[in-house]
Amino acid sequence: MSEVNKPLNFIEKIIEEDLRTGRVKEVRTRFPPEPNGYLHIGHAKSIVLNFGLAKKYGGKCNLRFDDTNPTKEDMEFVDSIKEDVRWLGFQWDGDIKYSSDYFDQLYEWAIYLIKQGKAYVCDLSQEETREYRGTLTKPGKPSPYRNRSIEENLELFEKMRRGEFEEGACSLRAIIDMAHPNMQMRDPVLYRIKKASHHQTGDKWCIYPSYDFAHGQGDAIECISHSICTLEFEEHRPLYDWFIENLPVPCTPHQYEFSRLNVNYTITSKRKLKQLVDEKVVDGWDDPRMPTISGMRRRGFTPKSIRKFCELAGVTRTDGVVDVSTLEFTIREDLNENAPRAMCVLHPLKVVLTNYPEDKTETMIAPGHPNRDDLGERKLPFGRDIFIDQDDFRESANKKYKRLVLGKRVRLRNAYIIEADEAIKDEDGNIVEVHARIIEDTVGKNPADGIKAKGVIHWVSAKENVDCEVRLYDRLFTEPEPGAGGKGFMESLNPNSLTVLTSCKGEIGLATADKETHFQFEREGYFYQDCKHSSPDHLVFNRTIGLRDTWK
Ligand code: ATP
Ligand code: MG
């Protein structure tokens, strides 16, 4: 469907109505990651949505780090998030924002609430606080500290800030309604004591605002028009609005929720992904099997394919699971159109062309891409000894096997038709070499004797090729919903998610190709050099995805 007549999603409808009625003059969105891990495919959806809406409606999108919990956050994550957002093709408006930029303002607003009689310092322990809060079916009961005087609260809050209390000794809470049917409204915590240094503010603070007290106010300070988050925050919306109504904020943002992106055979939870990293199940956050943006980049996904996938997933308020094959489809589609072709033999088997002179070489010409002249031509040296894939030869086979068989013909891609005569074996009976003959005058032509080849296989010259390592990836999990049915998600790990092939032979052009080129290795799939392990002396290719869906 073209951009023009694509139906509007529910958020676009809201925005268009807001622009029409004048409630909103300029669309301003934000993407608000917490820097406590690397971004994953679920975040990509939020990025594409927030930056995409700003772009579509001529507005702006901020990147704001939601950094209210210093103990779990780190600059490594801040840096990776910036890189990932840019790589996906988006640019935030102005400087990067941090919730911590607003700590002074939030502190003032906390004092404002105390002065209004709308916040108090509560000495209940975390556990007592939970008890007093009640349940969904039982109203909470007021904290015994709820009636402290404004003066006393101001003094105690100041002492909290100065570090005079231990962690957990007290907290600042809003005075709302302990019997409210929405549990979020039962005197939520605004500030906690945390004697931790912060990656942005250092040791300036030992009290930190809660997510709820920081988020909407950050939106208000930045004049966000549409604050878009995932459905689990729906219940927080009344509290979001309460703060906006009860504080002297400069703008009145609104929160809208959409459903999270879930993908089968995948996990989209930073906590679980972190566990895979910490327990060294994978080679870091950017392991090519990880559903992180950095892992997908390393594996060879393109920004375009990820954006397309996020668009196909749609924006709704109903929870659902997107089939991972949709993602595989979008990357195949992009690479099929744009990836130059090359030949690479993954499991080499030597073929000696006995009727081809040992000292002769020819150069075969092959297109860079079957229908993209702009991708030029490849020169393929051809000689008496070549490598084909072990899977492409059998001593005997039925008609369905359209590759090389003794006494039968096959075409070498972009070169001659050959016919196999003999399989040479080692003492254990393994085939170590094949003797075959070229059929004269068959480059780009059918043979004069009319006996055609049934199939086409790829090959490389045994003399002139480039050694490379190829890493094949399979899904990281064997089950559609890893960890479902009371099992831990670790129990659904696929033990065969990585296969490393160390003696592959690629066509010589691969040695000098740009590191960033995505290739289709003909008949094998799409490949991309591994940014961590590939070097000119030791090429390492990751298989991004196979040519077609073969997963069972
Ligand atoms: P996780 O559950 O993986 O820890 P999170 O929601 O805690 O994710 P944040 O850094 O807070 O991670 O997320 C930043 C933004 O991305 C939020 O607005 C959040 O709603 C959105 N987001 C996170 N996961 C998804 C997802 N699976 N689908 C869509 N949006 C998501
Ligand atoms: Mg979060």
Residue 512's nearest CA partner among 530, 539, 543, 541 is 539
Q: Under 8 Å CB-to-CB from 531, ≥6 apart: which residues?
A: 297, 298, 515
> How remote is the C-alpha of 49 from its chain's centroid?
15
| Ligand 1 atom closest to the CA of 45, numbered from 1 | 29
Query: From ligand 1's centre to the CA of 315, what distance in Å?
Result: 14
Which residue in the block uniquely carries the two structure tokens 């939601």? 66
For ligand 1, atom 10, which residue shows the shortest CA distance? 33
The answer to whether residue 34 is catalytic is: yes
Tell me the pLDDT tens digit for each residue of 87-112.
999 999 999 999 999 999 999 999 99
Dig out the tokens for 539 from the structure. Answer: 């090429």
**Beta-ladder partners of 457:** 412
Distances (CA, A) of 81 to 3, 64, 140, 278, 463: 28, 11, 40, 19, 45
Rounded to whole angstroms, how far apart are CA atoms 327 and 329?
A: 5
Phi, psi torsion values for 62, nearest 5 degrees = -95, 155
Residues with CB under 6 A from ligand 1: 32-34, 42-43, 45-46, 66, 229-230, 260-261, 268-271
The two beta strands, 28-31 and 466-473, are unpaired
Query: Dihedral of CA 141/143/149/155: which sign?
Result: negative
Whether CATH 3.40.50.880 fits 10-258: no
Number of Cβ atoms within 10 Å of the Cβ of 497? 18
Q: What is the pTM of this model?
A: 0.95
Residue nearest to atom 16 of ligand 1 (CA): 43
**Cβ distance 488 to 278 under 8 Å?**
no
Residue/partner pairs of 3-12 with CB below 8 Å, 24 or more apart? 9/314, 9/315, 9/316, 10/258, 10/315, 10/316, 10/317, 11/49, 11/53, 11/226, 11/228, 11/256, 11/258, 11/315, 12/53, 12/56
User: Residue 70 C-alpha to ligand 1 middle, in angstroms?
Assistant: 18
> CA-to-CA distance for 11 and 173, rounded, in angstroms?
33
In terms of CATH architecture, what is 344-458?
Beta Barrel (2.40)
Whether 6 sits among the annotated catalytic residues: the reply is no
Strands (E), 85-144: 97-98, 119-122
Task: Choose the residue to mutate in 9, 41, 45, 46 for probing ligand 1, maximizing ligand atoms within 8 Å of C-beta.
Answer: 46
What spacing in Å lies between the alpha carbon of 427 and ligand 1's midpoint? 59
Instruction: Tell me the best of 11, 43, 92, 266 to mutate to test the pocket of ligand 1, counting ligand atoms within 8 Å of each CB and taking the most.
Output: 43
pLDDT score at 359: 95
SS3 227: strand
Residues 6 or more apart whose CB falls under 8 angstroms from that of 138 comprise: none
Domain ranges across the chain: 10-258, 270-341+468-545, 344-458
Distance CA 97, CA 221 (A): 11
Ligand 1: atom nearest CA of 230 is 20
How far does residue 541's CA lie from ligand 2's centre (Å)? 34
From the CA of 271, the nearest ligand is 1
The single-letter code of the amino acid at 157 is: F
Closest ligand 1 atom to residue 269 Cα is: 3
**Whole-number pLDDT of residue 4:** 62
The pLDDT assigned to 549 comes to 72
Residue 365 in contact with residue 380, Cβ under 8 Å?
yes
Residue 40's SS3 state is: strand
3-state secondary structure of 527: strand
Which ligand places an atom closest to the C-alpha of 234? 1
Name the pairing type of β-strands 518-521 and 341-342.
Answer: parallel
User: Could you tell me how far CA 470 lies from the centroid of its own chain?
Assistant: 22
CA–CA gap between residue 290 and residue 475 (Å, rounded): 9
- Closest-CA residue, ligand 1 atom 27, reads 42
Q: Which of 55, 82, 260, 272 is labelled catalytic?
A: 260
Residue bearing the CA closest to ligand 1, atom 2: 269
For ligand 1, atom 29, the nearest C-alpha belongs to 260
For the domain 270-341+468-545, what is the CATH code? Answer: 2.40.240.10
Q: Looking at residue 1, what is its pLDDT?
A: 47
- Find the ligand nearest to 256 CA: 1
Same fold, 10-258 and 270-341+468-545: no
SS (H, E, C) 142-164: CCCCCCCCHHHHHHHHHHHHCCC
Q: Which atom of ligand 1 is nearest to the CA of 34?
A: 10
Coil/strand/helix, residue 520: strand
Residues of the chain under the 70 pLDDT cut: 1-4, 550-552
Tell me which residue has tokens 């979001």: 240
Least distant ligand from the CA of 66: 1
**Ligand 1, atom 18, residue with closest C-alpha:** 229
Q: Whose CA is nearest to atom 26 of ligand 1?
A: 42
Could you identify the residue written with the tokens 């590759």? 403
Span from the CA of 138 to the centroid of ligand 2 (angstroms): 27
* Distance, CA of 365 to CA of 55 (rounded, Å): 44
The two three-digit tokens of residue 431, written as one number: 């085939």
Residue 34 Cα to ligand 2 midpoint, Å, equals 6
Going by their DSSP bridges, the two strands 498-506 and 119-122 should be labelled as: unpaired
**Ligand 2 centre distance from Cα of residue 456 (Å):** 52
Calculate how far, in angstroms, residue 236's C-alpha sits from the geometric centre of ligand 2. 13
Predicted local distance difference test score (pLDDT) of residue 66 = 97
Cα–Cα distance for residue pair 49/263, rounded to 1 Å: 17
User: Which ligand has the minimum distance to the alpha carbon of residue 320?
Assistant: 1
What per-residue confidence (pLDDT) applies to 265?
97
Cα of first residue to Cα of last residue in the chain, in angstroms, is 30
**What SS3 class is residue 256?**
strand
Give the bridge partners for 385, in sequence order.
352
Of the candidates 45, 148, 237, 270, the residue annotated as catalytic is 270
Q: With contact defined as beta carbons under 8 Å apart, do 485 and 415 qualify?
A: no
Active site residue 13: no
pLDDT of residue 552: 52
- Residue 275 main-chain phi, psi, to 5 deg: -60, -40
Question: 37 CB contacts (<8 Å, ≥6 apart)?
Answer: 77, 270, 271, 273, 274, 285
- Could you tell me the distance, in angstroms and rounded to a whole number, from the CA of residue 41 to the centre of ligand 1? 10
Pocket test for ligand 1, best of 50, 77, 227, 230 (most atoms within 8 A of CB): 230
